Amino acid sequence: MNTTHEQHVQDLVSTLTDAVIRHDGTLDQIMGRYDLNDDDVANWLPIIDSLHNTLVEVQPRPAFKRQLRNELLKRPIGVRVRLRPLPTRVQLAAVLTIVGGFVLIVYNWFMGNMREVALNPDDEPAVLH
């Protein structure tokens, strides 16, 4: 269960974080506005500040954004369109798997036919006699 003290610390941490994220003035102003003391700030500010400086927004590639938008607005129909948003290596693996599977089927079918020809029981008596 939350004690009053814990709730106070939780409020303080959230308040301090909001102030840092929104650049809510200088540290002195923040401390004055939210009635913080030096110990509170010393306890929490370093980790909050590190997170704020480390986790920065990254921008997706403009080409990716553009391409995805175009594909979405075209409404995906069929395998080819569904394959396109996948990474190149995944597309390549998919194509290789399909080609490999096809080759395997043809190979098995061909070898099966060859075995039938080699072991045709009708031919054997003729060879033995």
Cα-only R_g, the chain: 35
In this structure, the number of other CB atoms found within 10 A of the CB of residue 30 comes to 19
Min separation Cβ 71 and other proteins, Å: 8
CB nearer to other proteins: pick between 9 and 27: 9
Secondary structure of residue 70 in the 3-state scheme: helix
Nearest of 120, 56, 44, 99 to residue 30 by alpha carbon: 44
Min separation Cβ 15 and other proteins, Å: 10
CB nearer to other proteins: pick between 37 and 88: 88
Residue ranges that bind other proteins, judged by CB under 8 A: 2, 6, 9-11, 13-14, 17-18, 21-22, 44, 47-48, 50-61, 64-65, 68-69, 71-73, 75-76, 85-87, 90
Find the angle CA(94)-CA(96)-CA(101) to the nearest 5 degrees: 95
CB nearer to other proteins: pick between 33 and 69: 69
